[in-house]
Amino acid sequence: MRVLVTGGAGFIGSAVLRALAAGGHRSTSYDLATDPRDDIVDVDRLRAATAGQDAIIHLAAKVGLGVDLSDLDGYARHNDLGTAAVLRVAAERSIGRVVLASSMVVYGEGTAQCPQHGTVPVPPRTEDDLARGMFEPRCPRCAEPLRPGLVAEDTGFDPRNVYAATKVQTEQLAAIWARESGGTAVGLRYHNVYGPGLPRDTPYAGVAAIFRSALLAGRAPSVFEDGGQRRDFVHVDDVAAATVAALQAPGLTGYTALNIGSGTITTIGEVAARMAMIMNGPAPVITGHYRLGDVRHITADSSAARRLLDWRPQVTLEQGLATLDQGLDQGPAGLA
């Protein structure tokens, strides 16, 4: 299969190119980092790049959480308008399958269990609670602490930052494209992706890079809140394998969203402790510090991806953390 990969020079894109080559596919990368003419909103450039291609893997995006509203239009341009341009050209070229990167952040914190009211949406935490060290989200009806659980693909959208909002829009555009073109689009909601080549400023697993930098400097990793924040860390090689599998999975029609996670729940405190042990550094320090708007818990139910893509993650967290020395200190991933 001949595949155009937008954002192919990035952290995940580089791993996807390797996985495509290993699977016998022919790939072309489209990324500003390697060619300054590869603007993701340049329809003419995209038309040229998609000539003769069978499928598109669309990874190009402006990453980070988008906390500065002065850059809101920048996120919309790269992520939303860029996706619209890719999908327009895919329709013009009669390309039948597009796999695109979404993110866990579309869920906010998803849903959780209240002992009295059952499954409820998780509201944003208040600054008053955080300042008092009450880190668990509360039931919006009775204010009791909620019990977190796994987030499935039918959980509603609840974007809580600019980046998350653009990923929601990306998925909606892909669903419209699939319906109107008759093509197949697969939106992969990546969870906390980490591994060799991890940039320092991604919204995925930047905490691992921060912990590593501290340990290399001989400092103890600083862990926010109480360290009990739950995450699903998935290795970039497993993410790449899932992405390539989505190109060929039979039986998919229209638009399908899939969680891509390891299936293993790990707390931020546990990650810090494991890294300190692997790197023979000082034990983590639980600081109690917090950032208003941070998500407390977000972990995936990735069973649908396992079933529909015939995919299984292969890299354990212990194995993966041991690979972080391999090229982690690169700068931010390029925009395409």
- Residue 126 inside a domain? The answer is no
- Domain membership of residue 35 as a residue range: 2-110+151-322
95 within domain boundaries: yes
Identity of the amino acid at 289: H
Structural domain includes residue 141 = no
More confident call, 109 vs 177: 177
pLDDT > 90 in the chain, percent: 80
pLDDT tens sequence across 153-181: 999 999 988 999 999 999 999 999 999 99
Q: Write down the pLDDT at residue 253.
A: 96
> Looking at the domain assignment, is residue 268 inside a domain?
yes
pLDDT score at 196: 84
What is the pTM assigned to this prediction? 0.92
Residue 130 in domain: no
Q: Judge whether 29 lies within some domain.
A: yes
Report the CATH number that the domain containing residue 214 is assigned in CATH.
3.40.50.720
Please tell me what DSSP assigns to residue 126: P
Please state the domain count of the chain.
1
* 215 inside domain: yes
Buried/exposed code over 205-244 (b: 16+ C-beta within 10 A; e: otherwise) = bbbbbebbebbeeeeebebbbbbbbbbbbbbbbbbbbbbb
- What integer pLDDT is reported at residue 115 of this predicted model? 94
The answer to whether residue 40 is domain-embedded is: yes
